[in-house]
Amino acid sequence: MRFVHDTLPQRVRFASDGAAEGLAAEVAALGARRVMVIAGTSEQEPAARVTAGLPVVHRHDDVVMHVPLEVAQRARAAAAERDVDALVSVGGGSTTGLAKAVALTTGLPIIAVPTTYAGSEATAVWGLTDNSVKTTGTDPKVLPRAIVYDAALTLSLPVELSVASGLNALAHCVDSLWAPRADPINQALAVEGARALRAGLPLVAAAPAGMDGREQALYGAYLSASAFASAGSGLHHKICHVLGGMFNLPHAQTHAVVLPHVLAFNAPGVPEVERRLAVALDAPTADEGLARLRERLNAPHSLRELGMPSDGIAEAAKAVVAAAPAGNPRPVTLDAITELLRTAWEGTDPR
């Protein structure tokens, strides 16, 4: 056994109904006096509730999916105008992503309060979209100093979005099993994350107001993101970044649709890893386990229903092949990726 593993420096607070208390403690630990709260319009009420009493000098609600460059520039200007000394993000991946865009150029510390299962809060990965091209990178400046997890904040997330967001988290697990820097530690985190998501998401779908499923899903989402932060982006995420930037597709739903196709493509190349994932998904094979879970969750099934045009497949396939990571379990050829995208666009069962 021989590997190099990076563990990112970050505090995690996990307590249902504990967001306000945990956030106050983290702001005090930073010694922050001029806080900028970033939360989209739909998150304004919970954001106001959990940040009450903090030294907030600006509440920023200009949040857009995939973080367009011009949106990032407006947020950076707002932070500079108010001499902000800390950022608090309350929301999903787009909200965390905008806070990261500000931190990337300013070095301001972030405290993340997630309300979905996106996982961006646990990584040093940033992403910006300019002229329909999404660029991603890693930088320690954008890693939130602390995460305040409160499963109660996910209760307002509709079941449909909970499912898509949870499957996005599961995609982090799957990609981490064979990503460029995959190692035994992040594989262990990914397998346990997959187990927790498999257990929690059906409970969320069946009883949206229940806390057990929400806590399991949020726990699994954190593990999935921790694995992904160490392992790096695999083929699945490269595909979804291309599709999101090129066609402005919804982030979580795109991941939910593409995941079974990438799993079916790569799993035969890593049989030992596939068996571990199958156990986590409580099925004879990983493909079967994912199919069962998606059926229970009534998951989105085609890129066509998300708005991707069929004539974009060829262009997207070329971009994916150019961006594909080295060391993928199977060769990433133009023909193979074109076929993968075509079946994902049609919603064909990849098995």
The stretch 293-298 carries a mean pLDDT of 95
- The secondary structure of residue 324, as a DSSP letter, is P
Q: What is the pLDDT of residues 32-65, one digit of tens each?
A: 999 999 999 999 999 999 999 999 999 999 999 8
pLDDT band at 288 (very low <50, low <70, confident <90, very high): very high
**pLDDT exceeds 90 at position 351:** no
Integer CA distances (angstroms), 274 to 40, 252, 281, 332, in order: 38, 23, 10, 19
pLDDT of residue 200: 97
Q: What is the average per-residue pLDDT within 73-89?
A: 98
| Residue range 94-153, pLDDT digits in tens | 999 999 999 999 999 999 999 999 999 999 999 999 988 888 899 999 999 999 999 999
Q: In the prediction, which pLDDT does 105 show?
A: 97
Split at pLDDT 50, 70, 90, the class of 326 is confident
Task: Tokens for 116, please give them.
Answer: 């979905």
- Per the CB < 8 A criterion, the answer to whether 88 and 135 are in contact is no
Answer whether 168's CB lies under 8 Å from 264's CB.
no
Domain ranges of the chain: 11-154, 159-346
Arithmetic mean of pLDDT, 238-258: 92
Mean pLDDT along residues 225-242: 93
Tokens 């970033």, residue? 38
Q: What is the pTM of this model?
A: 0.91
Q: Which band of pLDDT confidence, cut at 50, 70 and 90, is reported for residue 6?
A: confident
**Size of the chain in residues:** 351
Per-residue pLDDT at 1 exceeds 90: no
d(CA 227, CA 229) in angstroms, rounded, equals 5
- What CATH number matches the domain at 159-346, 3.40.1160.10, 1.10.10.10, 1.20.1090.10, 3.40.50.300? 1.20.1090.10
Q: Is 222 in contact with 137 (CB distance < 8 Å)?
A: no
pLDDT averaged over the chain?
95
Q: Tell me the pLDDT tens digit for each residue of 181-191.
A: 999 999 999 99
Question: What integer pLDDT is reported at residue 133 of this predicted model?
Answer: 84
> Residues 17-30: pLDDT tens digits?
999 999 999 999 99
- Would you state the CATH architecture of domain 11-154? 3-Layer(aba) Sandwich (3.40)
Kindly report, residue by residue over 193-217, the tens digit of the pLDDT: 999 999 999 999 999 999 999 999 9
Tell me what pLDDT residue 245 has: 87
Are the C-beta atoms of 54 and 24 separated by less than 8 Å?
yes
